[in-house]
Amino acid sequence: MEINGLKAIIIGGASGFARATAERIAAGGGSVAILDRDGSAGAEVASSLGGTWHPTNVLDFDGIAVVIDEAVEALGGLHVAVNTAGGGKAGRTLGRSGPFDLDDFRAVIDLNLIGTFNTNRLCAAHMANGEPNDDGERGVLINTSSIAAFEGQIGQVAYTAAKAGIAGMTLTMARDLGSLGIRVNTIAPSLFATGLTAGVTEDRAANLTKDAAFPKRLGRPDEYARLAIAIIENPMLNGDTIRLDAGTRFAPM
Per-residue pLDDT tens digits for 19-64: 999 999 999 999 999 999 999 999 999 999 999 999 999 999 999 9
- What would the mean pLDDT of 151-176 be, rounded to a whole number? 98
pLDDT confidence tier of residue 203, bands split at 50, 70 and 90: confident
Q: What is the pLDDT of residue 200?
A: 75
pLDDT score of 199 more than 80: no
**What's the DSSP call for residue 187?**
E
Nearest to 115 by CA among 9, 12, 227, 185: 12
The predicted model gives 239-248 an average pLDDT of: 98
- Give the per-residue pLDDT at 76: 98
CA–CA gap between residue 113 and residue 83 (Å, rounded): 11
224 classed as catalytic? no
**Assessment of whether the complete model's pTM goes beyond 0.85:** yes
**What's the pLDDT band for 227 if we cut at 50, 70, 90?**
very high
Which residues neighbour 174 within 8 Å (Cβ) at sequence distance 6 or greater?
183, 184, 185, 238, 239
- Give the integer Cα–Cα distance in Å for 224 and 247: 15
Mean pLDDT throughout 202-211? 85
DSSP label at residue 114: I
Q: Could you give the percent of the chain with pLDDT greater than 90?
A: 93
Q: What count of other Cβ atoms lies within 10 Å of the Cβ of residue 207?
A: 11
Percent of the chain residues topping a pLDDT of 70:
99
Query: How far is residue 189's CA from residue 132's CA, in Å, rounded to a whole number?
Result: 30
The per-residue DSSP string of 58-79 comes to TT-TTHHHHHHHHHHHHHTS-S
Q: Is beta strand 139-144 parallel, antiparallel or unpaired with respect to 182-189?
A: parallel
pLDDT over threshold 70, residue 196: no
Active-site annotation holder among 100, 105, 159, 192: 159
pLDDT, tens digit, 9 for 90 and up, residues 123-147? 999 999 999 999 999 999 999 999 9
